[in-house]
């Protein structure tokens, strides 16, 4: 394994405004300064495939491995950002994917 992707899919509450979700995603993007994070992107869905099944936004973060991901998950700033997102999401799905290396 040469890394790990942490993928979060969000379905925005119909009662939440675009500005509220944008603010929550901005706070998630700010987590990119944590030393455990290689990079992080967050934004609104722009797919043309029509297979979102209700998900409207996504977050993808890259880590060197599971221990870095675990440090990120336990960081107080991540916990606070997660709570803010949960206030504006009707549904959340999270998966982590190994990034294959030469040993794949």
Residue closest to 60 by CA, chosen among 82, 36, 28: 28
Q: What is the pLDDT along the chain (104 residues), one digit of tens a residue?
A: 689 999 999 999 999 999 999 999 999 999 999 999 999 999 999 999 999 999 999 999 999 999 999 999 999 999 999 999 999 999 999 999 999 875 55
Radius of gyration from C-alpha coordinates of the chain: 14
Residue 104 lies in a domain: no
pLDDT of residue 17: 95
Kindly state whether residue 24 falls inside one of the protein's structural domains: yes
- Closest among 80, 78, 90, 95 to 10, alpha carbons compared: 90
Residue 89 lies in a domain: yes
Residue 18 falls within a domain, yes or no?
yes
| pLDDT at residue 102, rounded to an integer | 58
pTM, two decimal places: 0.92
pLDDT of the residue at 45: 96
How many domains are there within the chain? Answer: 1
**Domain containing 90 — which CATH number?**
3.30.70.100
Within-domain flag for 19: yes
User: What's the domain range around 30?
Assistant: 3-99
Is 73 a domain residue? Answer: yes
């Amino acid at each position: 394994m040469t890394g790990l992707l942490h993928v979060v899919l969000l379905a925005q509450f119909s009662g939440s405004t675009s500005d509220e979700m944008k603010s929550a995603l901005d706070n998630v993007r700010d987590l990119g300064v944590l030393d455990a994070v290689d990079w992080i992107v967050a934004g609104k869905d722009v797919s043309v495939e029509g297979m979102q099944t209700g998900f409207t936004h996504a977050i993808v973060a890259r880590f060197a491995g599971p221990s870095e991901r675990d440090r990120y998950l336990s960081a107080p700033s991540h916990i606070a950002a997660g709570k803010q997102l949960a206030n504006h999401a009707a549904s959340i799905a999270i998966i982590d994917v190994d990034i294959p290396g030469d040993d794949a």
